[in-house]
Every structure is written in structure tokens, then in C-alpha cells.
Homo-oligomer: A and B are copies of this chain.
Amino acid sequence: MVNGQYKKMLEEKSIIRQLSEFAADRGRQIGYENVFDFSLGNPSVPVPEKFTEVMVELLKNRNSMELHGYSPSLGIASVKEKIADSLNRRFGMNYTGNHIFPTTGAAGAVAHALRCVTSPGDEVLTFAPYFPEYNLYVNMTGAQLKVVPANTQNFQINFEKLEEMLTKKVAALLINTPNNPSGAVYSEETLKELSDLLSRKQKEYGHDIFLISDEPYREIVFGGLEVPYVSKYYDNTLSCYSYSKSLSLPGERIGYVAANPKCRDAELISAICGQISRGIGHNCPPSIIQLAVAEVVDQTSDMSVYEENMNLLYDELTSLGFSCIKPGGTFYIFPKALEENEEAFCRKALAYDLVLVPSGSFGMPGYFRMAYCIDTEKVKRSLPVIHRFVRENYQ
């Protein structure tokens, strides 16, 4: 019989999915250019040309059996070394290829990292607001996700609440900086305080506490900000990365887990990820995608459009009286809704063909998320519409 647990999951439809389906339907009615769809985090800039060149080069010149043959089960050694070298060069780390496990994006990386360092019954902590898929990634391991309330001043960490919740049952923390949905970037100060607390608790409890750092937006930062590299601050860190956003290729499903060389069992993490992957029949990301990405590890797409869009929206929203942290990165902004019930707020916006995501599913009611990975021209056209929506409903 069909598995009941999965069947039940089908009933819980993602709100983001529903909204993006609404936007698509509405687009068919009134023209896509007239729907201001801020629901989806799909990159809106092209892949770097070099990636396409490398792909074509591989297809034309590489022996096809070598190119399309089985990747070693822990990933292609030369690819892992190039990723390690790039991280070492940029962040002063000491990875070797053996610390890198190629995955299907950051989602795959986080799901593997969680299975690596938790056992059923453990607790995993994350921080509101958080990416709703974390619920699933954690629940499927048999561990339990607990959400530390936000520091709503600046979306750094609420250390008081964290310390309360950081009991002996906690095996891992899952953080996301730059953050989806808030756009906040953890400061060096935050990471140092976090590291101190975790180190102290590890000693107190006599067991490891892993930090799983979900970093798909690491390269999308604004105003010349430097994103501190999380793993530099705490040894028991597994960094989860995706090239989806930085290279604009989310459909190609490529990223990695990088185990800090000083973390517990550092030399085993990659091999354990291999076992996890084997159990689901997945094995590695496709050979050709691994090989192509390895040639552009230090590049990104031209992401200046995201900063331009952010500034346009931030200025408009704050001038309209929205309370809002200025994003340090990502392509999201997370203002407070103008009424307590953020679902009602977002529902009213739909009447203006403004598709905003209510914040409930991010573990934090009262806010909404806008994904501004769309054309700047459209962002500009949305500003008077947002203005009209606010004036007609809240002024």
C-alpha cells in the first residue's frame, strides 16, 4: 500500500507554491507583465558565459565515456580539489578535496549534513525567521526541529532565548546567513558570541554540537559588505553551499558540504555523506555539471540588479511607513505587515496583483517576504502599485 506518511504530506501544500500558481494563472488572464510576482526565489540574471563555454567545450572535446561515465561515489577528485582551493584562497581555510562532498544544491547539502551529525530523538535548533523546508529536512532524519525566536531588532541572534533552548538534547544548530527571508547577514560579533556559547556548552555537556551553515546566498551581498565565513569561527561547522544563486543555475542542482578540517571526524564526513546518498540511490551530482562548475568556482553571475532592486523597494517601503531591516544580502526583503494578520494583508495585496508571501511559514507571524529577483523595470512599475495598495487600505 502507498506509504501513509508521504501521502499525508501531499495534503500540506506549500503557501509559496500556491501563490506562484496563482501568479501564473493570473498572468495567463491579464498578461504576465501585469502581475507583480514577488513569490519565488528563482535567479533572474544569466549564467556566466564561461560556464556555457566550458559545458560546450567538454561536450565537444572530451571522450564521451570519460565525460559521462560514473563519477566516483564521493565526487570527482579534481572537482573537489578546485572547490577546496577556492575556499582556502578566499577564506583562509585549510580544506583538502576530501573535506568536500558535492551535492544537489544547498538543499541536498543541508539534508545530508543533518543526517551526518544527528540521530533520531536529537534536537536541532534554528532561528526565526527560517526557510520552511528545514522542517522537512530535519523531520525526515527522525530528529526534531525547534525554533529560537527572532531578535526582531536586527535579525541577529537572540542569545538569551538560544541559551535557554540549548539543552543537552541539541545535536546541531542550523543557521542561514545571509538569511532567507530577512536578508540579514550575521556579523562577526554574532558569530564569535555563537562560537563561544557552543564551545562552552560542548564542554558542559561532554558531546559535540555541530553548526550546519546554510550559505546559498553567500555571494549576494550589498554595499560592499563582507560576509564572515562561518566555519572560521567554530570548528564543528559543516558549510552547505549551492551554486544555484551565485551562478544562476538552480535547475542544475549543484552544491556541496564542506566539513571544517578541525571538526569531529572531519576525515569521515564526506564518506558518510556518500553512504547517505547511496541509500537514496542518488550517488553524485551529474559528472558534466560537476566538471563545468569546477571551472567557474571563483565567478558569479552579474548580481548588481539585486542590489538595485533592493534599494528601490527598501526606499519605497520605508517611505510608506513599513518597519523593515535593510537587507545586507540575498534577494529577499522582509517588512512588517501593516496589520497583525499578515495573511489578510497579503490577501488584500493580491487584489492589486501584488504577490507577497505571508511570514507564517517562516516561523514568525506578522511579516511578509518579497523576492525581488525580477527585472528592475518591473520593480519600478510595482512601486506606484504598492503605494496605491497601502493608501487605499491602511491610510
Q: Which residues of B contact A105 (CB under 8 A)?
A: 281, 283
Q: Which residues of B contact A285 (CB under 8 A)?
A: 253, 286
Q: Is the interface of A mostly helix, strand, loop or mixed?
A: helix
Chain A residues in the interface with B (C-beta under 8 A): 1-7, 9-10, 42-47, 52, 55-56, 59-60, 64-65, 67-71, 103-112, 115-119, 133, 136-137, 139-140, 171, 207-208, 248-254, 264-265, 268-269, 271-272, 275-276, 278-289
Q: A10-B271, A136-B278, A280-B140 are in contact. Are A264 and B68 (CB under 8 A)?
A: no
A56 near B60: Cβ-Cβ < 8 Å? yes
- Select A56's contact among B3, B6, B56, B253, beta carbons within 8 Å: B56
Nearest B residue to A40 by beta-carbon distance?
A: B70
Q: Which residues of B contact A44 (CB under 8 A)?
A: 65
Q: Which residues of B contact A248 (CB under 8 A)?
A: 64-65, 68
Nearest B residue to A2 by beta-carbon distance?
A: B265
Nearest B residue to A115 by beta-carbon distance?
A: B3
How many copies, total? 2
A158 to B354, CA, bound (A): 63
B42 near A70: Cβ-Cβ < 8 Å? yes
Q: Which residues of B contact A280 (CB under 8 A)?
A: 108, 111-112, 140, 280, 282
- Select A43's contact among B65, B136, B289, beta carbons within 8 Å: B65
Nearest B residue to A41 by beta-carbon distance?
A: B70
Q: Which residues of B contact A253 (CB under 8 A)?
A: 282-286
B42 near A1: Cβ-Cβ < 8 Å? no
A276 near B6: Cβ-Cβ < 8 Å? yes
Q: Which residues of B contact A108 (CB under 8 A)?
A: 280-282
A204 to B128, CA, bound (A): 52
- Select A3's contact among B4, B43, B104, B119, beta carbons within 8 Å: B119
B52 near A59: Cβ-Cβ < 8 Å? yes
Q: Which residues of B contact A269 (CB under 8 A)?
A: 2
A70 near B278: Cβ-Cβ < 8 Å? no
Q: Which residues of B contact A68 (CB under 8 A)?
A: 47, 248-252
B52 near A10: Cβ-Cβ < 8 Å? no
Q: Which residues of B contact A59 (CB under 8 A)?
A: 52, 55-56, 59
Nearest B residue to A266 by beta-carbon distance?
A: B2
Q: Which residues of B contact A52 (CB under 8 A)?
A: 59-60, 64
Instruction: Supply 12 further A-B pairs (C-beta < 8 A) apart from A2-B117, A55-B59.
Output: A1-B171, A2-B265, A3-B115, A3-B118, A52-B64, A104-B281, A107-B283, A108-B280, A112-B280, A133-B278, A253-B283, A254-B286
B64 near A251: Cβ-Cβ < 8 Å? no
Q: Which residues of B contact A133 (CB under 8 A)?
A: 278, 281
Q: A1-B207, A251-B69 are in contact. Are A279 and B117 (CB under 8 A)?
A: no
A264 to B4, CA, bound (A): 13
A251 near B56: Cβ-Cβ < 8 Å? no
Nearest B residue to A289 by beta-carbon distance?
A: B286
Q: Which residues of B contact A65 (CB under 8 A)?
A: 42-47, 248
B286 near A286: Cβ-Cβ < 8 Å? yes
